[in-house]
Chain A
């Protein structure tokens, strides 16, 4: 009975299998990027970037209609311009990264809204805003999987410089010139994965599958590799849970997935060793040294 409820939807319906494949790809690609966003204290930056992508995608839609390619390219360009401009300003002026990023993404949104209203067309942008994880076509699935594959390879290449850049950037700059490579390479990965996420979950919620599993995993484990692994598992489990909830309770899938990840986060916050109650529940006696 329970097995039926858990597995039958995926056996019986192709759109559920496609949604599952999309969630798996996102968990493998976007979530590890989210772990580094969280550890670099850039969680909100991910949110700002997601907003910066929206006008680019809207422009692509305006010019070429509901074409996957145009919206993707538009989103990537808008995201990269904002991320790189913000990084450049932060490195060469007295403004910090958050301030310059806020400035650029607000500019980006305003430009997008301006162009959209000048054209005076009623856009069906719900797809971009809220995604369509249950209506992923072949091209979207290929795009998401390709970006996830690329992300995994890029993270493997950047791993060591990126880790040092996160906790001791001054040391990395003093031993090698890879600091900017790690920094900008990481920003590019953030943008790519946000674009990949918006096809499934929409620009507003794409950040959710990056940050929520990462935050939950941080509460449970202490080592970075375990944190990456656990975050991926949580993201995939939330994806499956959200898809099933959407199927059985007839609710929209995107928000259901993010809410499932949110539930894991709240539960971890209560119970995990690093959470609010976890440390107090540990009643074991202290050690000798």
Chain B
């Protein structure tokens, strides 16, 4: 994939998102460069998942806009695991093959080379031999591997991962981080919501610290300072039920 440095993969312009008029993400503006590997960090309720939901089009902004260089079709989104019904009778191969939706659509069959790609993706996440296993029979870590394989097949330029390493053992995390770094090396743009700051410092060059308000965005070492983290913790805990209407004007050119 060719890196096109001039146009950002994602531009957020004074974006405010929320539920029931209460902002969960408040006046966020920033540019995510093509090929960036960005961790989104912040306390619970800071608006991290909300931001990803808005980028996939599930939630419309209260104010502001965002622009995706690759368009809606160029986004692959990995929601948190608990949104999936694991009791449904479907096997691992079929579930992973759904990652080819944009190639095969609702009716197309799998050609031989596409079936090979599914097997290849399963092998890449270490699930060879699990093809006919029901998804309900997988462990949490194995299911997450399968979801990564599916995302691999989506072959999207912009990847959104919502807490991809939650409740997963260290070995699986290592394997999955290696896959994410592989995607980064291929030039894809990646935004991942994460809680493990150690992991962010080790692998993610850039970081967006959110606490409803944007607290910092830039190189990880400059953003994840104890001072800014303290600000983030304080901001996330204010919630006023009788909050007044926000009158803030968008600041031109501010990031």
Contacts and interface: CB of A to CB of B under 8 A. Distances in A.
A129 interface: no
B84 A168 contact: yes
A222 B89 contact: yes
B102 A167 contact: no
Given A175-B101, A175-B154, A170 B83 contact: yes
B220 to A, nearest CB: 27
Contacts of B135: 167
A167 B88 contact: yes
Interface stretch (B71-79, B176-184, B224-232, B235-243): B71-79
A167 B58 contact: no
Interface residues of A, number: 23
Contacts of A227: 89
Contacts of B58: 170, 173-174
A14 B148 CA distance: 59
A174 B84 contact: no
B242 to A, nearest CB: 20
A153 B23 CA distance: 45
B44 to A, nearest CB: 20
Given A163-B90, A174-B56, A224-B90, A168 B101 contact: no
Given A39-B88, A171-B79, A160 B107 contact: yes
A19 B110 CA distance: 41
B88 A166 contact: yes
A223 interface: yes
Interface in B73-120: 75-77, 79, 83-86, 88-91, 95, 98, 101-102, 105-107
A87 B95 CA distance: 26
B65 interface: no
Interface string A139-183: 000000000000000000110110110111111011110100000
Contact of B75 (A39, A168, A174): A174
B134 interface: yes
Interface string B56-70: 101000000000000
Contact of B79 (A161, A170, A176, A178): A170
A168 B83 contact: yes
Contacts of A174: 56, 58, 75-77, 79
A171 B153 CA distance: 13
Nearest to A226: B89
Contact of A167 (B56, B75, B84, B154): B84
Nearest to A223: B89
B60 to A, nearest CB: 12
B56 A164 contact: no
Contacts of A166: 85, 88
B90 to A, nearest CB: 6
A175 B106 CA distance: 11
A170 B81 CA distance: 10
B90 A175 contact: no
B106 A168 contact: no
Interface of B: 56, 58, 75-77, 79, 83-86, 88-91, 95, 98, 101-102, 105-107, 134-135, 150, 154
Interface of A: 39, 157-158, 160-161, 163-164, 166-171, 173-176, 178, 218, 222-224, 227
Given A168-B95, A176-B101, 19 more contacts: A39-B88, A158-B106, A160-B106, A161-B106, A163-B88, A163-B90, A166-B85, A167-B90, A167-B95, A169-B83, A170-B58, A170-B83, A171-B79, A171-B84, A174-B56, A174-B77, A176-B105, A222-B89, A227-B89
19 contacts: A39-B88, A157-B106, A160-B107, A167-B84, A167-B85, A167-B95, A168-B84, A170-B79, A171-B77, A171-B79, A171-B150, A174-B58, A175-B154, A218-B89, A222-B134, A223-B89, A224-B89, A224-B90, A227-B89
